[in-house]
């Protein structure tokens, strides 16, 4: 660790201790910055879903389900 950097440790249920920096280095967890951002295609599909919702083609529940499917892919 560099100068001025504080070691971050999480204490979990069951007495498990996780050093987040080590966990990232060993790929046990990924840093948040590597989270995949929606692509232009996903953005367009989300817009299409919203249009279908606004037109009454999809119910609010159907919209939520389809949106979640799209974001999880």
The mean pLDDT of the chain is 74
| pLDDT value at residue 1 | 46
Higher pLDDT pick, 27 / 9: 27
At 39-62, the pLDDT tens digits run 788 888 999 999 999 999 999 999
Kindly tell me the burial class for residue 55, based on how many C-beta atoms sit within 10 Å of its own C-beta (0-12, 13-18, 19 or more). Answer: exposed
């Amino acid at each position: 660790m560099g100068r001025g950097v504080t070691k971050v440790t999480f204490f979990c249920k069951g007495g498990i201790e996780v050093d987040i920096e080590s966990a990232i280095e060993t790929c046990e967890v990924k840093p948040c910055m590597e989270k995949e951002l929606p692509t232009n295609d996903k953005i367009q599909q989300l817009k299409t879903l919203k249009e279908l919702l606004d037109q009454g083609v999809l119910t609010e529940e159907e919209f939520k389900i389809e949106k979640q499917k799209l974001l999880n892919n």
